[in-house]
Amino acid sequence: MSDTANDAASGTTPKLAFVYSALLLRLWLAVRAIQTGVEKFSGTAKVDGQAVQVDGVANTEGLTTVATSKAYALANYHGVPEALMKKFQEEPLMLKFALPLYDKLLGPALLILGLTILLGVAYRTSLFLLGLLYISLTWGLILINQSDGVAWLGTHMLLIVGALVLAEHNRLAIMKKW
């Protein structure tokens, strides 16, 4: 291979790698935020199956084989899981008046930020806001001493920082401003 060819290779390959890296991080963070937001609307649905047979005859009391399945509905919405909510309410440093609002906003915020990151709308600002959201979650988990969760969110923060660093290589964005 000639020197020229080597230069060309060394000049283009890193750039493409940066573009791919930016795209992969963007997709990962978007999927993570969107699906987490969607899961806030998930619940368990029970469905009556066949009537239980006693002595070969369907029972008259109404006992059935019940199948349980996961289902999504607006009515299932829960921003902060109930178990965590109870712990937060007992924390003296927690702003009690803000908890219900946070509970209402968390799911929609994750969905909106996930979508703006996926579509590339105000990409850097969306990443910044997602980072703030993860910081708020981290603060809550520190309060209730959930170190595993804090570490888990820490890795998310590193990915967001990485995505911001690679933002200049971002492609396929609807609105590049901000």
Partner 1 sequence: MNPNPSLYSRRGFLSTSLGTAGAGLVLAAPNILRAAETGGSDAIHVALVGFGKQGEVLFNCLKNIPGLRFQAVCDISKNSINKFRSQSRGMANAEGAKFYEDIDDMLSKEQGLDAAVIATPDFWHSPHTVRCLEAGLHVYCEKMMSNTIDGARAMVHAMEKTGKLCQIGHQRRSNPRYLFTYNRLINGEKICGQIVNVNGQWNRSLGASQDIGGAKLAKSIIVPDDVLKRYGFKDMHQYLNWRVYRDLSGGPISDLGAHQIDIFNWFLGTTPKRVYATGGNSYFKNREHFDNVMCLFDYDTPQGEVRAFYQVLTTTSYGLGFYESFMGTEASIRISEIASTSAIYRESGDHVPEWDSLVERGFLVKKPAPPKPESSEGAVAAYESAAPDVYELPGSFAKPAHQPHLENFFAAVRGEATLNCDARHAFESEAPIFWVNPSALSHQPIELTSEHLSV
Which positions touch partner 1 (CB under 8 A)? Answer: 46-48, 51-56, 59, 61-67, 86
Nearer to partner 1 by C-beta: 36 or 64? Answer: 64
Closest approach, Cβ 37 to partner 1, in A, equals 23
Q: Which is nearer to partner 1, 46 or 171 (CB)?
A: 46
Q: How far apart are CA 34 and CA 111, in angstroms?
A: 5
- What H or E segment, with its residue span, contains residue 166? none
Nearer to partner 1, 93 or 97 (CB): 97
Rounded to a whole number of angstroms, the minimum distance from the CB of residue 56 to partner 1 is: 8
Minimum distance of partner 1 from residue 137's CB (angstroms): 23
- Asked if 113 and 126 touch (Cβ cutoff 8 Å), the reply is yes
Work out the number of other CB atoms within 10 angstroms of the CB of residue 20: 13
Which is nearest to 15 in space by CA: 176, 169, 170? 169
**Tokens 């603060």 label which residue?**
139
Contact between residue 107 and residue 37 where contact means Cβ atoms under 8 Å apart = yes
- The smaller minimum CB distance to partner 1, of residues 11 and 56, is found at 56
CA distance 31 to 118: 8
Rounded to the nearest whole angstrom, what is the least distance from the CB of residue 57 to partner 1 in the complex?
9
